[in-house]
Amino acid sequence: MDLNALSLLVEIIEAGNLSEAARRLRMSRANVSHRLGQFERSLGQQLLRRTTRRIEPTEIGLRLYQHGCAIRDELMAARESVTSLGQSLQGRVRLSVPSGYGQLVMSDWLIAFKRTYPGIVLDVMFENRVEDLMREEVDIAVRVMSEPPQNLVARDMGPVHYVACASSAWAREHGMPVALPDLRHVPLITSAVHGRQLRVSAYLGGERHEVLLEPTLISENFLFLRQSILASLGVGIVPDYVFDAELREGEVIAALTEWRLSIFGTHMYMLYMPGRHRTKAITTFIDFMLARAQEAGRRGD
């Protein structure tokens, strides 16, 4: 069997379509299609079903894909073992993290990791969208959600607690919300999902309530939200890590503290593809970040 053709099949399936595979392989789409056709004819089997948007492997295509992944992973592991002999740990980690959690919490962890492993290249994107890891070409994504996607490996990095809060100056002048419906009658500062009605879920004992929100200031940039709340522009609903120190010191006041609030999800997850080869650099990064998250969780208990 032609191993180059098998490798091409793996690339096409992981890319999701011929055009994306051609871009990744730096080949023309026609060339990719031609080589795939040659491979299918040599086997006498259809390996892929083509739809208008994506391609899907047939049963034999899926089996060959699994074998191809295993062969690729073994080759990459062997190459990594040879190149790392006598050297410090090297490699590349492509990471996508939420803007707020990434900048306010993970930045210190990322800097500590880089100091510990200077030979590893960190390629970090700060964004909040939940995207296909294959299409985005990242190794790891960190996201807030209630239930992680079943097609990804999900490592729990701990719970996410939202707080309704305002600067102490705003609280003194206007007072703080005392009941959930009050959130609809204050200038509200928070993040939102475009095209969706924003709502907060609130839990108290066995009760669950939901309140539709109409924010007056919306942004995906949590550093901007933080600055706006400190500037006394209104009441914010943000994760508690946005104001960790300020809440302890009284510079920011929390309201409705008897309720557990949630907007986008209840846990932070580290996500990665289940079948993709993870280099030593990637597995080291995963272990390092999970250990830091666990330490932070213990300090918060």
What is the percent of the chain with per-residue pLDDT over 70, rounded to a whole number? Answer: 87
For the cut 50, the answer to whether the pLDDT of residue 233 exceeds it is: yes
For the cut 70, the answer to whether the pLDDT of residue 53 exceeds it is: no
Lowest mean pLDDT among 29-43, 58-72, 91-105, 209-223: 58-72
Domain end, chosen from 83, 99, 121, is at 83
By CB atoms closer than 10 A (0-12, 13-18, 19+), residue 276 is middle
By CB atoms closer than 10 A (0-12, 13-18, 19+), residue 96 is buried
Highest-confidence segment of 26-30, 191-195, 233-237: 233-237
For the cut 90, the answer to whether the pLDDT of residue 106 exceeds it is: yes
> Max alpha carbon distance in the chain (Å)?
78
CATH number for the domain that contains residue 13: 1.10.10.10
CATH number for the domain that contains residue 211: 3.40.190.290
Residue range 197-208: mean pLDDT, rounded: 84
Neighbouring-strand partners of residue 154:
271
Domain end, chosen from 64, 83, 102, is at 83
At residue 256, φ and ψ (nearest 5 deg) are 55, 40
Residue 155: name the closest of 55, 9, 245, 285 by CA.
285
125 and 248 assigned to the same domain:
no
231 and 168 assigned to the same domain:
yes
Domain end, chosen from 33, 59, 83, is at 83
Nearby residues of 60 by Cβ (< 8 Å), 6 or more positions away? 43, 45, 46, 47
Residue range 231-237: mean pLDDT, rounded: 95
In the three-class reduction of DSSP (H, G, I as helix; E, B as strand; rest coil), residue 117 is classed as coil
The predicted pLDDT at position 77 comes to 64
61 and 96 assigned to the same domain:
no
Model-level pTM? Answer: 0.68
49 and 22 assigned to the same domain:
yes
Residue range 82-101: mean pLDDT, rounded: 76
For the cut 90, the answer to whether the pLDDT of residue 5 exceeds it is: no
| Number of structural domains found in the chain | 3
- 276, two tokens: 């993709």
For the cut 80, the answer to whether the pLDDT of residue 136 exceeds it is: no
The predicted pLDDT at position 146 comes to 82
Lowest mean pLDDT among 70-84, 119-133, 210-224: 70-84
178 and 257 assigned to the same domain:
yes
Q: What is the mean pLDDT of the chain?
A: 84
Question: Which residue range(s) make up the domain with 129?
Answer: 91-158+267-300
By CB atoms closer than 10 A (0-12, 13-18, 19+), residue 272 is middle
Residue range 37-65: mean pLDDT, rounded: 81
For the cut 60, the answer to whether the pLDDT of residue 101 exceeds it is: yes
- 14, two tokens: 């992981």
The predicted pLDDT at position 175 comes to 93
140 and 173 assigned to the same domain:
no
271 and 152 assigned to the same domain:
yes
27 and 109 assigned to the same domain:
no
109 and 166 assigned to the same domain:
no
Residue range 62-88: mean pLDDT, rounded: 68
Instruction: Determine contact, residues 60/47, Cβ cutoff 8 Å.
Output: yes
The predicted pLDDT at position 177 comes to 93
138 and 278 assigned to the same domain:
yes
Neighbouring-strand partners of residue 29:
none
pLDDT tens sequence across 172-182:
999 999 999 99
pLDDT tens sequence across 256-287:
999 988 887 788 999 988 766 678 899 999 99
Residue range 213-240: mean pLDDT, rounded: 92
CATH number for the domain that contains residue 116: 3.40.190.10
The predicted pLDDT at position 86 comes to 46
The predicted pLDDT at position 270 comes to 92
pLDDT tens sequence across 147-157:
888 888 899 99
31 and 152 assigned to the same domain:
no
The predicted pLDDT at position 301 comes to 52
The predicted pLDDT at position 118 comes to 92
When comparing pLDDT for 4 and 125, which is higher? 125
Residue range 232-251: mean pLDDT, rounded: 93
Residue 282: name the closest of 138, 171, 156, 169 by CA.
138
For the cut 70, the answer to whether the pLDDT of residue 2 exceeds it is: yes
C-alpha distances in angstroms, 41 versus 21, 36, 61, 278?
A: 20, 9, 13, 32
